[in-house]
Structure 1
Amino acid sequence: MEYLLELAVSPAAWVALATLIVMEVVLGIDNLIFISILTNKLPAQFRTKARRIGIGMALILRLGLLSTIAYIVQLTTPVFEVLGQAFSWKDMILIAGGLFLVWKATSEMHHSMQPVVEDESTIKTSTVTLGFAAAIGQILMLDMVFSIDSIITAVGMTEHLPIMVVAVVVAVLVMLLASEPLAKFINENPTVVMLALAFLIMIGMTLIAEGFGFHVPKGYVYAAMAFSATVETLNIVARKIREKRQAALVK
């Protein structure tokens, strides 16, 4: 208890907490985009439930990983070497996660360009259950990749486990609150889906590069995402203005 009280009155602890929360929220953006695209493929009545269960289980996963933080830190120890390049378990996890993200985003792009129209009323319960379970499984798998990377980064910023736990909980709650409006926005603007999938491919390639020892500054990645999102926002605004003008002319 004294340890927690000391942290509560320490300005450095509060600065570390605020920094970690911002970092966790920013790192959670790409995960949230993936969750939104994945759950939007489910029938409408199951989407919110899938997002809440997926994010809730992701919180449990992250807290579980924090409880094994001593082991997580050791994942950076080289396991083997190929042509002078050392690989650790963290590197292999990042490469596997990046490959999965690139494959998933590419397949979703293909599906978006050649969609299969299905009547939700005729979809069998077994198919919905399978899709629901697959969505949850993929959310957890990708969240594990992002969690290991963010936890190892967090360890370099603070040595206090309670600060890490609070930061993770707050960041996941922010994800939970933002998941619904983000998924709705993506669903209502089909052109945003392609942009979001392009983001996921870029993030996947970044993970692969990190796994092979090529550090890509996160600031460059998020600056590119912000610029692209701004351009797409201007396109959406311009499109809505044109639609209003056309509707006014028809009247």
Structure 2
Amino acid sequence: MPIIEFLAPHFAFLSEPTAWAALVTLVVMEVVLGIDNLIFISILTNKLPKEQQSRARRLGISAALVMRLLLLATISFIVQLTTPVVTLFDHGLSWRDIILIAGGLFLVWKATTEIHHSMDPNHDTSEAQVSGTLKLSLGAAIFQILLLDLVFSVDSIITAVGMTDEIVIMYIAVIAAVTVMLVAADPLAKFIGQNPSIVMLALAFLLMIGMTLIADGMGYHVPKGYIYAAMGFSALVETLNMLARRRRASGEQ
């Protein structure tokens, strides 16, 4: 009973329709934002030996969940990150802007490097070479997952604050979104790994997302609806190409 009495005030919002609407909206927003993370995680962990890939995804996403929950606990500090701290080209940059720019530059660098490796016929990605650097690669993969998740987490938390004042709603939305990521991580990574053309498309998505983060950090906001609409249209075209290739292959047989 004491526990119920302690928790009751924190869940009083359940009786308010507006709170439920905010919860659903936040969950959807977190899931959609998680698509960017999943694409990056899939490409990153697919470079590890097969027996380590699923483990790396689970460890990375679980650690990201812990980090997001800790960030929510410091939400009063996170909100203050929108205050300008430096001026660049007559534009005031806050810590949020700096984090977005740094994350965007990291994504652009990572996507460009992976595209170069994919296009380089002399690039050795044999199992033996990957296994030889397993410990470093696994640690580096998890570190990079956390690094990118930090960027998206700060942005999503600041956005969430503008939608609701209930911290419990934010916690529920984050947990729900990360749960979806855990369920979808392996199937998405397997699908990307089995379709080389999808890998290049996913890298192009990461490049576009990186440039969007840089633009947002510099004060040029690009509506995310445009970004996801472009990604969805590109994915639809690639799906049609895949179906056409399969039909041609079955017709030749």
Fold equivalence (TM over 0.5): yes
SS of the equivalent of 2:180 reads helix
Q: Give the CA deviation at 1:126.
A: 5.6
TM-score normalized with structure 2 length? 0.94
**Equivalence map 1:55-134=2 (5 Å):** 55-114=61-120, 116-120=123-127, 122-123=128-129, 127-134=133-140
CA distance in 1, matches of 2:126, 2:95: 44
How many residues matched? 246
Q: Which residue of 1 aligns with 2:3?
A: none
* 1:22 equivalenced with 2:33 (yes/no): no
**Equivalence map 1:1-251=2 (5 Å):** 1-114=7-120, 116-120=123-127, 122-123=128-129, 127-247=133-253
TM-score normalized with structure 1 length? 0.95
SS of the equivalent of 1:86 reads strand
Q: Give the CA deviation at 1:37.
A: 0.2
**How much identity, in percent, do the aligned residues show?**
63
CA distance in 2, matches of 1:203, 1:195: 12
Unaligned runs of 5+ in 1: none
TM-aligned CA distance change 1:162 to 1:142, over 3 Å: same
Q: Give the CA deviation at 1:83.
A: 3.3
- 1:8-51 Cα offsets, whole Å, 9 max, x none, are 22211111110000000001101110000000000100000000
CA distance in 2, matches of 1:142, 1:195: 19
The one-letter code matched in structure 2 to 1:31 is N
TM-aligned CA distance change 1:8 to 1:216, over 3 Å: same
The one-letter code matched in structure 2 to 1:7 is F
Which 4+ residue blocks in structure 1 deviate beyond 2 angstroms? 115-120, 122-126
SS of the equivalent of 1:186 reads helix
SS of the equivalent of 2:164 reads coil
Q: Give the CA deviation at 1:123.
A: 4.2
The one-letter code matched in structure 2 to 1:146 is F
Q: Give the CA deviation at 1:118.
A: 4.4
Q: Give the CA deviation at 1:117.
A: 3.6
- 1:83-102 Cα offsets, whole Å, 9 max, x none, are 32101000000000000000
The one-letter code matched in structure 2 to 1:198 is A
The one-letter code matched in structure 2 to 1:89 is W
CA distance in 1, matches of 2:181, 2:41: 10
CA distance in 2, matches of 1:118, 1:105: 17
